[in-house]
Chain A
Amino acid sequence: MTDLVLSDFAVARGPCDVLRDINLSVGAGEFVGLLGPNGAGKTTLMRGALGMMPHRGQSSLSALSARDRARRVAWLPQAREIGWPVSVADVVTLGRLPHLARGQKPGETDRAAIDAALSRMGLDGFRTRIATQLSGGEQARVLIARALAQDTPLLMADEPAAGLDPAHQLGLMDTLAAEAARGRSVIASLHDLGLAARYCTRLVVLWQGGIAADGPPAEVLTPDLLARVFQIRAYVRHTDDGPICQPLGVV
């Protein structure tokens, strides 16, 4: 089953195409790392696919109604906004909104999803804490828990690892990988090539408005591509712990 299909997808900003001729299909169980230098169009690709920006070509998600889409994909934007001093539990409960009919209170299933999301992000003791009073990293985890609680086949996240300490970065990637292993699909834009190489099942590299490479990390992260797209050279090895990619210098 595919959770996202983009065909001949293009997004224009003004007269110029930011993205064009994008053909991409993501299926269940995939953990797709969306890579590319700054301005390559990673955020644009995800927001366009979600129907939040006008686009040409087809996106299986933007074709859905807002309500159906909210049950198919959870979206974690890069801006981590919590507008009011609400409790952690309240933030995470927001993830259940698409599953509740008008006026319906969260029920047994909803509470189970919320509990699971909280404990997967290590937030069990945080339920009643005021979300805006937490540290940046803790807030990021709360927002990820919110997206997990939405319990959708597809999870899309814009730089979810940014601003987290190493342990929580690894914990987050573990969680996302586990979600993928459970049969969900995950698309996350990432800047950390090491994390991408280590956890993702598939990498899609955006460059100059198109897809420069698409495949398993080992096939994508070649010295040639790293030099061409990222202008870096890196140490890439395949170990028992999986692929290692450590940038060494600018080309």
Chain B
Amino acid sequence: MTRVLALVLVLLIVALFALSLLIGPAGLSPARSLAALLRGEGLAETLVMREIRLPRAILAAMIGAGLGLAGAAMQGYLRNPLAEPGLLGVSGSAALGAVIALQTGFAAQFALGLPLAALLGAVLAVGLILALAGPRGGSLTLILAGIAVSALAGALTALVLNLSPNPFAASEIMFWMMGSLADRSMTHVWLAAPFIAIGAVVLLAQGRAFDALTLGEDSAASLGVNLSRLRLVLVLAVASMVGAATAVAGAVGFVGLVVPHILRPFVGARPSSLLWASALGGAVLVLAADIAVRLVLPDRDLKLGVLTAIVGAPLFLHLVFKTRGQGL
């Protein structure tokens, strides 16, 4: 079952990745696109393929994987299907960190300034949420804490952008709140890749601990899980992935909610299997969403988060309704 799922997801990623490379306003034929991408035929075509479309497709897959995995991990830790980095304000806080780094010039000081600042913002948010939610992560506390953290991060982001001397900055609040992959470059790929990769490797290695947590904290501890260490690893790894993703693409919400929810039945609800499945599924979702924004409104920069929210918000409401029955 899980092997079939993995195969299907990988095939979907490959297909969507290829599709993502072939879609764009330049209107290149698949043959020319491929020749430009692989052999560098034609200066304009090569620049379009290698500098614009390739980084966009890579970022979509990478960021989707990071967000899906981060959602599955947070849900696994809190044993709550409503936990998601976007909803809990982690992405918003990462965006705040990124915006502060950009506007203060910290991001220009050294190469990793931007993702590190976003990571710091995310660490503060994850730490705060976990502290507020307590060991069991009750839905009500989680959602309320998430609302507060999101609202504060959003307001401060708007404030920083409004204080910027740059006339364009103030209008970019939408990008930071909704996310977009338009006109990103290989620079952004290299900036985000190490953080997302490290976070992913670290989290995927915790599968057993998340499995054990199915039975609660006490049982997990008695099965040899070091809970304080797991909590620290979770905070840092989630922040690393969400921070890097947000620093380059803005806050894309609901990926970490939708993907684990859809895939959970296919992996027998095992949190460890859900980790890798959600990483693959997240890549599928964001690749598909990024293709959709280009097909729906080719000439405008429709934000990625708009699409993920349209899919995710009703699902979220459904989950709230379901958990309400269980006494939140």
A and B touch in the complex (CB under 8 A): yes
B218 in contact with A52 (CB, 8 Å): yes
Residues 63-97 of chain A: 1 if any B CB is under 8 Å from the residue's CB, otherwise 0? 00011011001111101011111110011001101
Select A74's contact among B208, B222, B271, beta carbons within 8 Å: B222
Taking the closest CB of chain A, its distance from the CB of B268, in whole angstroms, is: 6
Given A75-B218, A91-B214, A97-B211, does the pair A83, B226 have CB atoms closer than 8 Å?
no
| Residues of A24-73 contacting chain B, CB below 8 A | 47, 50, 52, 66-67, 69-70, 73
Q: Which residues of B contact A67 (CB under 8 A)?
A: 224
B216 in contact with A77 (CB, 8 Å): yes
Given A50-B222, A67-B224, A90-B270, does the pair A79, B216 have CB atoms closer than 8 Å?
yes
Taking the closest CB of chain A, its distance from the CB of B125, in whole angstroms, is: 23
Q: Complex: how many Å from CA A67 to CA B270?
A: 22
Q: Is A146 an interface residue (CB 8 A)?
A: yes
Q: Is A118 an interface residue (CB 8 A)?
A: no
Select B215's contact among A66, A81, A98, A130, beta carbons within 8 Å: A81
Report the nearest B residue to A143, measured CB to CB: B215
Q: Complex: how many Å from CA A83 to CA B221?
A: 15
A84 in contact with B223 (CB, 8 Å): no
Which of B208, B219, B225 lies at the interface centre, i.e. has the most chain A CB atoms within 10 A of its CB?
Answer: B219
Q: Which residues of A contact B98 (CB under 8 A)?
A: none
Q: Which residues of A contact B212 (CB under 8 A)?
A: 94, 97
Q: Which residues of A contact B271 (CB under 8 A)?
A: 84
B269 in contact with A75 (CB, 8 Å): no
Q: Is A201 an interface residue (CB 8 A)?
A: no
Q: Is B184 an interface residue (CB 8 A)?
A: no
Q: Complex: how many Å from CA A156 to CA B141?
A: 32
A86 in contact with B268 (CB, 8 Å): yes
Taking the closest CB of chain A, its distance from the CB of B71, in whole angstroms, is: 14
Q: Complex: how many Å from CA A212 to CA B214?
A: 37
B224 in contact with A97 (CB, 8 Å): yes
Q: Which residues of B contact A86 (CB under 8 A)?
A: 214, 268-270
Number of interface residues of A (CB under 8 A): 30
Q: Complex: how many Å from CA A146 to CA B264?
A: 22
| Residues of B256-278 contacting chain A, CB below 8 A | 264, 268-271
Taking the closest CB of chain B, its distance from the CB of A105, in whole angstroms, is: 12
Taking the closest CB of chain A, its distance from the CB of B267, in whole angstroms, is: 10
Taking the closest CB of chain B, its distance from the CB of A225, in whole angstroms, is: 30
Report the nearest A residue to B274, measured CB to CB: A84
A97 in contact with B219 (CB, 8 Å): no
| Residues of B107-153 contacting chain A, CB below 8 A | none
A94 in contact with B221 (CB, 8 Å): no
A83 in contact with B213 (CB, 8 Å): yes
Q: Is B50 an interface residue (CB 8 A)?
A: no
Question: Main secondary structure on chain A at its contact with chain B?
Answer: mixed
B211 in contact with A73 (CB, 8 Å): no
Q: Is B294 an interface residue (CB 8 A)?
A: no
Q: Is B79 an interface residue (CB 8 A)?
A: yes
B222 in contact with A94 (CB, 8 Å): no
Q: Is A150 an interface residue (CB 8 A)?
A: yes
A97 in contact with B216 (CB, 8 Å): no
Taking the closest CB of chain A, its distance from the CB of B208, in whole angstroms, is: 6
A150 in contact with B214 (CB, 8 Å): no
Q: Which residues of A contact B214 (CB under 8 A)?
A: 81-84, 86, 91, 94
Q: Complex: how many Å from CA A80 to CA B269?
A: 18
Report the nearest A residue to B269, measured CB to CB: A84
Q: Which residues of B contact A85 (CB under 8 A)?
A: 264, 269
Q: Complex: how many Å from CA A20 to CA B190?
A: 59
Q: Which residues of A contact B211 (CB under 8 A)?
A: 94, 97
Report the nearest A residue to B136, measured CB to CB: A81
A75 in contact with B219 (CB, 8 Å): yes
Taking the closest CB of chain A, its distance from the CB of B1, in whole angstroms, is: 11
B215 in contact with A69 (CB, 8 Å): no
Taking the closest CB of chain A, its distance from the CB of B209, in whole angstroms, is: 9
Select A90's contact among B221, B223, B268, beta carbons within 8 Å: B268
Taking the closest CB of chain A, its distance from the CB of B159, in whole angstroms, is: 39
Which of B214, B216, B225, B226 lies at the interface centre, i.e. has the most chain A CB atoms within 10 A of its CB?
Answer: B214
Q: Complex: how many Å from CA A67 to CA B225?
A: 8
A70 in contact with B268 (CB, 8 Å): no
6 A-B pairs with the lowest CB-CB distances in the bound complex, closest first: A70-B224, A83-B79, A75-B222, A81-B216, A77-B218, A84-B269
25 pairs across A/B with beta carbons < 8 Å?
A52-B221, A52-B222, A66-B221, A66-B225, A69-B222, A77-B216, A77-B222, A81-B79, A81-B214, A81-B219, A82-B214, A83-B216, A84-B214, A84-B270, A86-B214, A86-B269, A90-B268, A94-B212, A94-B219, A94-B223, A95-B223, A97-B211, A97-B212, A97-B223, A143-B215
Which residues on A are within 8 Å of B, measured CB to CB?
Answer: 47, 50, 52, 66-67, 69-70, 73-77, 79, 81-87, 90-91, 94-95, 97-98, 130, 143, 146, 150
Other than A86-B214, A94-B215, give 18 A-B pairs with Cβ distance below 8 A. Answer: A47-B218, A52-B221, A52-B222, A66-B226, A70-B222, A73-B222, A76-B219, A77-B219, A79-B218, A81-B215, A81-B219, A83-B215, A85-B264, A85-B269, A86-B269, A97-B223, A143-B215, A146-B215
